Structure 1
Amino acid sequence: MKQLEIYHIDAFTDVSFGGNPAGVIPEAGSLTTEEMQKIAGELNLPESVFLLPPSRPDADYRVRYFTPTEEINFCGHATVALSWLLAEKYGYLEKGDRVALETNVGLVPVEWIIENNRLARVSMTQLPPRTQEIDISIERVAELVGIHPGDVDDRYPIRLGSTGNWHLFVPVRTRSAIDSATPQLKELGRMNKELQVSTTHLFTFDMHGEFDLYTRDFAPAIGIAEDPVTGAANGALAGYLYLEGILPEMEQTRLKVGQGHAIGRPGTLYITVTPQETAPRIEVAGSAVITIEGLITIR
C-alpha cells in the first residue's frame, strides 16, 4: 500500500475556485506511469503534475503531466501550481529565487516573484516559440469552433504555434463571439489529432482596457472539453504574435491575458515577450491558491 501527499491547486487566480485546477503530487518517485495515469483519471482535473528526481544535471526536478486520458509534454498551469506549492509548503523561498524543471520537451526555468515580502506570482520561461502555416479555410475553422465565419478576424492568420505543445490559433473579432462559441467537440478533437495539436485556442484583442487579450481553449483531442486558463497555449500565442509581426520586433512587450470567464473560472496571466538574437523569450506568470490537500492511497 502506498500513501502520497496530493494537492488540488487553482492556478492563474488569487481566489479559490477560479482559474484552472491542477492536481499536484510532489513526491511521485515511487509511482509507475500506469499509476500516474490512474491518479490523473481519478482526480479528473484538466491536468495533474507529478514531481520526480531529475535525470539531467542542470535540473532540480523532473516533472510529468497527465490529463485524465493521456500524458502530455508540457502544461503551463500545472507548472505554476507545482511551483507555488514548492514555495508555500516546501520552503523553497528560503533556498533561492528559482527552480529548473525537466519536462519531456526540455528545461523550463521557474522564478518566484516577491512583492511586499510575500509570494505574488510564479513566472516560467517557456521553450522558444515556433509557428507553422496550415491549409484550412475560415469557413471550416468557424464551423468546428462554433462561431460565424464573419466572426473570424481575417486581419491575423490562422496558424499552428508551440512553446512546447502545438496549438491551433484562431483569431476572433469580438469577446462576445468567443464567449458564445459552441464547438463541435468530436469533430474538433478528430482534426486536432490529425494535426497533432493539443488544443484549439481562440483569441481576441477586443477588450477595451480590461485585458490586452482574451482567450478560450478547447482540447477534446487530449480528453478535455475546455481548458479553463492555459499557460502553455497563451505562452505559445504570445510567441505566435511576435513571430507573425503583430507585436513589436525590437522592444519588450507585456501582455495581460484573461481566460476562463465563459465557464465561471476567471483567470489572469501575465506574459512578457523579450526580443533576443535567435528567438524571443516567453515568460508566463500567475498566482495560485491551494484549495485541497490530503493523502491518496494506492493498494
Structure 2
Amino acid sequence: MKLVNVYHVDAFTKDPFAGNPAGVVPDADTLTVQQMQQIANELNLPESAFLMQSDHPEADYRIRYFTPTTEINFCGHATVGSSWLLATERGWLEKGRPIVFETNVGLIPVALEVEAGKLQKVTMTQISPSVREIDLNQEEVARMVGIRPEDLDDRYPMKLASTGGLHLLVPVRTREAIDRAIPVLSELGALNKEHGITTTHLFTWDAPEGYDVYTRDFAPAIGIPEDPVTGAANGALSGYFALEGFLGEGEIHQLVIGQGHAMGRPGTLTVTVETAGADPVIHVGGAAHITIAGQLRLREDL
C-alpha cells in the first residue's frame, strides 16, 4: 500500500470553509499522470496541485494542476494553497526567500509576507498578461451565463484575457445581476471548449464594501460548474484593466477583489498592477487556511 500525503487548503481566506478549496499533494514525484488525475477526481475539489522536483535551475518545485476531469496549465488558488502549505508545514518560511514554481506556462515566484514571525499573505507574480478579441453574440453570452442582455456593462469590451489560462471576461453592471446569474452550463461548456476557454469570468465595479471589484467564475468545460475564488482569472482580469487602458500608465495600482460570496465561500484577493514597464506586471496575493491533512492509500498495482 502506497501512502500519499494530501492536504485540503482553503485559499484567499484566513478562515476554514471559505475561499476556494484546493487539494495539495506535496510529494508527488512517484505518482503517474493517471494517478494524479484519479486523486484529483477523488478529492473532487475545483483544482488540486501536485508538487515534485524540478530540473529547472531557477525553480524550487515543478507543479501540475488537475481539476476532477482534466489537467490545466495554471491555477492561482492552488498555487496560493501550495505556497501556504510549504511555508507553514514544510519549513519554507525559515528560508526567507520566495518560492519559485515551474508551471506549464513558465516560472511563478511566490513571495511570503511575514509579521511578528507569522505568515500573513503569499503573493504570486503571474506571467505577462495578454488580451485578444473574440467575435461572440453578446446577447447569447448573457443568456448562457444567466443574466439579462441589459445587465451587460457596455463601458467595457467583452474579451479574452490570460495570465496562463484563457478567460472570457463578461462585464456586468451590478453585483445583484452577478449574484442572480444561473448559467446554462451545458451550452457555456460547449462554447468554452470551442474557443479553448478555461473559464467565463463575470466582473463588476459595483462591489461590496471593502472591495474594488466583484467577480464570479464558471468553468464547466474543465469540470467545474463554478470556481469559488479564482487567482488566475482575476489576474487575467487585472491585466485586461491595464492593457485596455482602464488603469493609468506608469503607476502602481492596488485592487481588492471579492469573489465567492454567491456560493457562501467569500474570499479576498489583493492585486497589485504595475504599469510602468513595457508589459503590465500582475501580483495576486491572499491568505490561506489548511483545513484537512491526511493520507490517501493507493494500491501498489494502480
Q: TM-score, normalised by structure 1?
A: 0.99
Say which SS state the counterpart of residue 15 (structure 2) adopts: coil
Aligned-partner Cα distance in 1 for 2:239–2:30: 36
Q: Distance in 1 between matches of 2:265 and 2:243?
A: 30
Distance 1:239 1:225 in 2: 24
Task: Report the 3-state secondary structure (helix = DSSP H, G, I; strand = E; otherwise coil) of the residue aligned with 1:216.
Answer: strand
Q: Does 1:145 align with 2:149?
A: no
The answer to whether residue 295 in structure 2 is matched with residue 295 in structure 1 is yes
Return the letter of the residue paired with 2:164: G
| Alignment partner, residue 268 of structure 2 | 268
Match of 1:125 in 2: 125
Using the alignment, how far apart are the partners of 1:126 and 1:261 within structure 2? 24
Q: How does 1:169-248 map to 2 (within 5 A)?
A: 169-207=169-207, 209-248=209-248
1:167 matched residue in structure 2: 167
Are 2:25 and 1:14 aligned? no
How far has the Cα of 1:115 moved from its partner? 2.2
CA distance, structure 1, for counterparts of residue 107 and residue 62 of structure 2: 9
Rounded to whole Å, the distance in 2 between the matches of 1:276 and 1:298 is 50
Q: Is 1:97 aligned to residue 121 of structure 2?
A: no
Amino acid at match of 2:29: G
Letter of the aligned partner of 2:188 in structure 1?
L
Partners in 1 of 2:110 and 2:82 — Cα distance?
10
Q: Is the 8 A contact 2:249 2:276 kept in 1?
A: no
Root-mean-square deviation (Å): 0.8
SS of equivalent to 1:242 = helix
Amino acid at match of 1:263: M
SS, match of residue 68 in structure 1 = coil
After the TM superposition, which residues 32-51 of structure 1 pair with which residues of structure 2 at under 5 Å, given as runs? Answer: 32-51=32-51
The answer for the alignment partner of 1:280 in structure 2 is 280
Query: How far apart, in 2, do the equivalents of 1:228 and 1:259 lie?
Result: 7
Q: Structure 1: which amino acid aligns with 2:159?
A: R
**Unaligned stretches of 5+ in structure 1?**
none
Contact 2:208–2:214, Cα closer than 8 Å, also in 1: no
Q: Deviations over 1:68-117 (max 9, x none)?
A: 00000000000000000000001101112211100001000000011233
* 2:64 alignment partner in structure 1: 64
Q: Which amino acid aligns with 1:169?
A: L
TM-score, structure 2 as length reference: 0.98
Give the Cα–Cα distance (whole angstroms) in 1 for the partners of residues 43 and 178 of structure 2. Answer: 28
Distance 1:210 1:281 in 2: 24
Task: List gaps (5 residues or longer) in structure 2.
Answer: none
1:223-266 per-position Cα deviation (integer Å, ceiling 9, x unaligned): 00000000000000000010000111121100000000001000
CA contact (8 A) 2:251 2:276 kept: no
Q: Distance in 2 between matches of 1:197 and 1:16?
A: 30
For 2:51 and 2:117, how far apart are their aligned partners in 1? 27
Segments ≥4 residues shifted beyond 6 Å: none
**Cα distance in 2 for residues equivalent to 1:180 and 1:158:** 20
How far off is 1:209 after superposition? 4.0
Letter in 2 for 1:278: A
1:27 and 2:10 equivalent?
no
Paired with 1:115 and 1:176, the residues of 2 have a C-alpha distance of: 37
- Look up the SS of the partner of 2:123 in the other structure: strand
SS in 1 for 2:250: coil
Helix, strand or coil: the match of 2:183? Answer: coil
Q: Which residue number in structure 1 is paired with residue 74 of structure 2? A: 74
Helix, strand or coil for the counterpart of 2:278? Answer: coil
Aligned to 1:155: 155
Partners of 2:250 and 2:277 within 8 A in 1: no
**Which amino acid is the alignment partner of residue 56 of structure 1?**
H
**Contact 2:207–2:258 (CA under 8 A) maintained in structure 1:** no
Match of 1:120, SS state, is strand
Matching residue's letter, 1:82: S
Q: Distance in 2 between matches of 1:204 and 1:234?
A: 12
Identity %: 61
TM-fit CA distance, 1:210: 2.5
